[in-house]
Amino acid sequence: MSSATALSWFARHEIRLAWREWLAMMTGGRGKRKRAVIALIVFAAVMHLPAYAVIGRFADLQLPLGKPELIVITATIFLAWALMLSQAIESVTRVFYARADLDLIMSSPANLANVFSVRIAAIALSVTSMALLLSTPFVDVLVIGGGARWLSAFGVVIAIGLSAAAFAIAITVLLFRLIGPSRTRLVAQILAAIIGAGFVIALQVAAILSYGTLSRFAVLTSDATAAYAPAPDSPLWWPARAAIGDGVVLSWLMAGGLVLLGFVMAVFSPKFADTVVNASSIATVRSGTATTSFRGGSRQQALRWKEFMLLRRDPWLVSQSLMQLLYLVPPALMLWQSFSESSDAIVLITPVIVMAAGQLAGGLAWLTISGEDAADLVATAPLPPSRVIRAKVEVVLIVIGVIFAPLVAALAFASVMQAAVTTLGIIIATVSAAAIQLWFRVQAKRSQFRRRQTSSRLATFAEAFCSIGWAATAALAISIPLAAVISGAITAAILAATWKISPRRE
Amino acid sequence: MTLDVSALEVRGLTKRFDRPAVDALDLTVRAGEFYALLGPNGAGKTTTLRMVAGLLRPDAGSVTISGIDALADPVAAKQIMAWVSDEPMIYDKLTPLEYLEFVAGLWGIAPAVSGPSAQQLLVSLGLEPHLHERCEGFSKGMRQKVALAGALVHDPKLIILDEPLTGLDALSARHVKGLLQERVRAGCTVIMTTHILEVAERMADRIGVIAAGRLVAEGTLAELRQQNGRNDTSLEDMFIALVDTDAAAA
């Protein structure tokens, strides 16, 4: 087989793997391809509505643009880039640590530099394809409202997808060199998780500190930001200009993305093999507590101790779960601000806290209830299954309590009534999320946490709807109590319907 | 050895998936006995043992462990029983000692008893240098030894092991076999499935051969030879003959 044939064969292999992985993610591993494609088309069609609401008003924009428009579009593109970077870092980390596959490749007589070049290209392709897919409803809305010139936005998506993949590879390899293989996985995954959210949260924090509002557009469209922004002919605005139909700038951007990716492939592909060998050759021996005497207590206490210990010792899982808490930073800041100046905006804190509690509880409940690495051991232990479940749910409630108690206590200083409503909302959202996980529980390894949403789409949607529903109910309870009754009843009905159609356990 | 009370009595045990996995199985294992359950892949060995351990609900039949009806009172039955599967059930983020502490806690063993016992077990299995290391970096053999120590830390009367020697090196396998024989000498009952017929031949007091969910032969090695009509036959030859005959009959 010639070198070119071997490369194209490996490229096909990579694309097939990426496609099947994506399909498995979409179908929860159940391989219902036709249904997944139909669901995707329906989802894409439905997405046109929110896309219109968010972006429809920009469709009439014409070149040359003013600074505020340039800032908003550039910030939106940067947010998309940050999310793509996050996804690409995650993919690169997986490539480094997918040992079974790498052992086969590394033990083959293939030219490793070429093979890894193909793999880098495959990462870039999958990141870009996903971005194109997600951006389609938004670009469609712009094209329908503002004309074909907006089609160039697809080119911008491709350009930033290529550059995001290039940056992700460079960041991951540099992390290997700086902090070693053992820490890179954790740091890269945390980095991937916070990069996307970080930008939005930073804008919100800036908005709160400057304008006392959660709206990030307040900062982006402010005179102060416009004053600091460079002139409209600056290369900083190229992505915005390219998106709106500037063909020359678009060509430059796409060429830049390709050159950047090519450069990264040329520099890092030959060293990829060394990096992988380093990752697999360093044994990580991590110690636990040097206990010599065992602690006493009931069987449920033993279970709770185990759950706390496992949560505490898995920083990646903790970071994945606590990621949702990042969104609490802006409301917490708002709360802190409200102590000095009375503001009605503080009402917004309650739904944010309740929703975060529901989401976090869902993740924790999955980890404790479904993510049991020694399911047979626990099942053969001499205690009834109901007590096992109770101990595990207690862990979820305790963790949620510990995390949210300080926020609620701080809220009580501002408004006792609001703190009470928030507490009630947190409890109900937590119990709902835990109940949904309980009804839909499937035995899984904790390491499958990343894919927990795909095991039951119904559970995922129910969990999200209930979190949002209870958050809205809590917010309405403070402002319009009668509406809260209706919202609460609707959410309770959703929960009841979820129970009705769940594979109920005895 | 006390051989007058049954450690395990299975009557008419039945489980169907797409086809009958276990078909009205009757099985008696005496207390203090080392019983090897043999059979080809898919014969129903693991399904049988998982039903005995309370991990799978039978469609029909009864399971009695040391006089306790395991289906009516599973908690009492589990209290005196341990289950070890071929895939070690341990937590990567716990050390062997912490794992044993958790298991002892689940079985409600007093720390004053379980602490020293755990330490002793792990040392006897050659894990002393790794007592305080997390299991995440352990080999399959080390993980299997930790799982076995977990099964023994609560001093069960009945130990059920499904292919416990899979993936173990010769030294580790000898450690495990030695520990199991020691337990049997102390009055414990061991039921083990294995594909390594030599292990069954050398360690088991009695051997049961299961095929298509039914017990097709049972007895000591000598009794099996007698049933087979040839005193010089190896267990391997007898096993193949039994399984082949059963497959042909099916």
Q: Find the DSSP H helices in A327-384.
A: 329-338, 349-365, 375-379
CB A192: neighbour CB atoms within 10 A? 23
Please give the Cα distance from A64 to B242 (Å, whole number): 87
Tell me the CA distances in angstroms from B4 to B32, B80, B217, one per residue in order. Answer: 9, 18, 22
Neighboring chain A residues of B114 at a CB cutoff of 8 Å: 294
Q: What are phi and psi of B133, to 5 degrees?
A: -100, 145
Minimal Cβ distance to B89: which of A292, A310, A374: A374
Q: Does pTM surpass 0.95? A: no
Minimal Cβ distance to A288: which of B83, B95, B107: B95
* A373 to B75: CB separation less than 8 angstroms, yes or no: no
State the amino acid at position A186 in one-letter form: L
Please give the Cα distance from A188 to B9 (Å, whole number): 55
* B101 to A284: CB separation less than 8 angstroms, yes or no: no
* B105 to A299: CB separation less than 8 angstroms, yes or no: yes
What's the pLDDT tens digit per position in A397-450? 999 999 889 889 988 888 888 899 999 999 999 999 999 988 888 878 777 776
Q: What confidence category does residue A158 fall into, taking pLDDT thresholds of 50, 70 and 90?
A: very high
Task: Tell me, yes or no, if B76 comes closer than 8 A to chain A by beta carbon.
Answer: yes
Neighboring chain B residues of A292 at a CB cutoff of 8 Å: 115, 119
Of A469 and B3, which is predicted with more confidence?
A469
Burial class (CB in 10 A: 0-12, 13-18, 19+), A1: exposed
Residue A64 preceded by cis peptide, ω within 30: yes
User: Taking the domains of chain B in order of start, what are their residue ranges?
Assistant: 1-80+161-169+193-237
What's the pLDDT tens digit per position in A318-367? 766 666 666 666 666 666 666 555 556 567 788 888 988 998 898 888 88
State the amino acid at position A338 in one-letter form: S
| A283 in Cβ contact with B87 (< 8 Å) | no
What's the pLDDT tens digit per position in A30-80? 556 677 777 778 877 888 887 787 777 777 777 777 777 888 888 888 888
| A90 in Cβ contact with A169 (< 8 Å) | no
Residues paired with B215 in a beta bridge: B210
Task: Find the residue in B nearest to A296 (Cα).
Answer: B111
- The percentage of residues in chain B with a pLDDT greater than 70, rounded to a whole number, is 94
Whose structure tokens read 């430059």? A252
Q: What confidence category does residue A506 fall into, taking pLDDT thresholds of 50, 70 and 90?
A: very low
Neighboring chain B residues of A287 at a CB cutoff of 8 Å: 95, 132-134
Please give the Cα distance from A449 to A371 (Å, whole number): 7
Minimal Cβ distance to B105: which of A285, A302, A373: A302
Opening angle at CA A466, ends A461 and A468, nearest 5 = 95
> Among the ranges A171-175, A493-497, B232-236, which has the highest mean pLDDT value?
A493-497
Q: What confidence category does residue A126 fall into, taking pLDDT thresholds of 50, 70 and 90?
A: confident
Of B121 and A173, which is predicted with more confidence?
B121
Please compute the mean of the pLDDT values over residues B214-224 and round it to a whole number. Answer: 87
* B94 to A306: CB separation less than 8 angstroms, yes or no: yes
| B204 in Cβ contact with B196 (< 8 Å) | no
Asked if the model's pLDDT at residue B188 lies above 50, the reply is yes
What's the pLDDT tens digit per position in A222-237? 777 777 778 777 888 8
Asked if the model's pLDDT at residue A5 lies above 80, the reply is no
- The percentage of residues in chain A with a pLDDT greater than 90, rounded to a whole number, is 15
- Considering chain B, what is the average pLDDT of its residues? 87
Six-digit token pair at A7? 């490369």
Q: Which residues of A touch B (CB under 8 A)?
A: 283-299, 301-303, 305-306, 309-310, 313-314, 373-384
Q: Find the DSSP H helices in B29-139.
A: 45-52, 74-79, 96-106, 111-124
* B79 to A382: CB separation less than 8 angstroms, yes or no: yes
- Residue B1 has a pLDDT of 46
Q: What confidence category does residue A286 fall into, taking pLDDT thresholds of 50, 70 and 90?
A: low
Q: Which DSSP string do the residues of B69-93 spell out, in sequence order?
A: ETTT-HHHHHHTEEEE-SS----TT
Minimal Cβ distance to A381: which of B93, B95, B107: B107
Minimal Cβ distance to B93: which of A310, A375, A380: A310
- Residue B2 has a pLDDT of 46
Opening angle at CA B118, ends B156 and B191, nearest 5 = 30
Q: What confidence category does residue A133 fall into, taking pLDDT thresholds of 50, 70 and 90?
A: confident
Instruction: Say which range, A327-336, A476-485, B92-101, B234-243, has the weakest mean pLDDT.
Output: A327-336
- For residue A235, the surrounding DSSP H or E stretch is none
Task: Tell me, yes or no, if B144 comes closer than 8 A to chain A by beta carbon.
Answer: no
Please compute the mean of the pLDDT values over residues B15-23 and round it to a whole number. Answer: 87
Of B66 and A188, which is predicted with more confidence?
B66
What's the pLDDT tens digit per position in A445-461? 777 776 666 666 778 88
Task: Tell me, yes or no, if B219 comes closer than 8 A to chain A by beta carbon.
Answer: no
Instruction: Say which range, A16-30, A50-64, A159-173, B73-87, has the weakest mean pLDDT.
Output: A16-30
Question: CATH assignment of B1-80+161-169+193-237?
Answer: 3.40.50.300
Q: Is the dihedral of CA B176, B179, B185, B190 positive or negative?
A: negative
Residues paired with B209 in a beta bridge: B38, B217
Whose structure tokens read 């697809």? A154
User: Taking the domains of chain A in order of start, what are their residue ranges?
Assistant: 3-281, 299-501
Q: What is the ipTM of this complex?
A: 0.81
* B95 to A284: CB separation less than 8 angstroms, yes or no: no
| A161 in Cβ contact with A124 (< 8 Å) | yes
Chains A, B: CB pairs < 8 Å: 115
- Considering chain A, what is the average pLDDT of its residues? 79
Q: Which long-range contacts (CB under 8 A, 24 or more apart) does A177-183 make?
A: A180/A282, A181/A96, A181/A275, A181/A278, A181/A279, A181/A282, A182/A282, A182/A284
* B132 to A290: CB separation less than 8 angstroms, yes or no: yes
Q: How many residues comprise chain B?
A: 250
* A293 to B111: CB separation less than 8 angstroms, yes or no: yes
Task: Find the residue in A nearest to B160 (Cα).
Answer: A380
Q: Which long-range contacts (CB under 8 A, 24 or more apart) does A337-340 make?
A: A337/A208, A337/A209, A337/A212, A338/A414, A339/A413, A339/A414
Whose structure tokens read 């927990």? A452
Task: Tell me, yes or no, if B105 comes closer than 8 A to chain A by beta carbon.
Answer: yes
Asked if the model's pLDDT at residue B88 lies above 60, the reply is yes
Q: What confidence category does residue A149 fall into, taking pLDDT thresholds of 50, 70 and 90?
A: confident
Of B248 and A367, which is predicted with more confidence?
A367
Of A260 and A181, which is predicted with more confidence?
A260
Task: Tell me, yes or no, if B106 comes closer than 8 A to chain A by beta carbon.
Answer: yes
Of B53 and A212, which is predicted with more confidence?
B53
What's the pLDDT tens digit per position in B119-169? 999 998 888 889 888 888 888 888 989 999 999 999 999 999 998 887 788
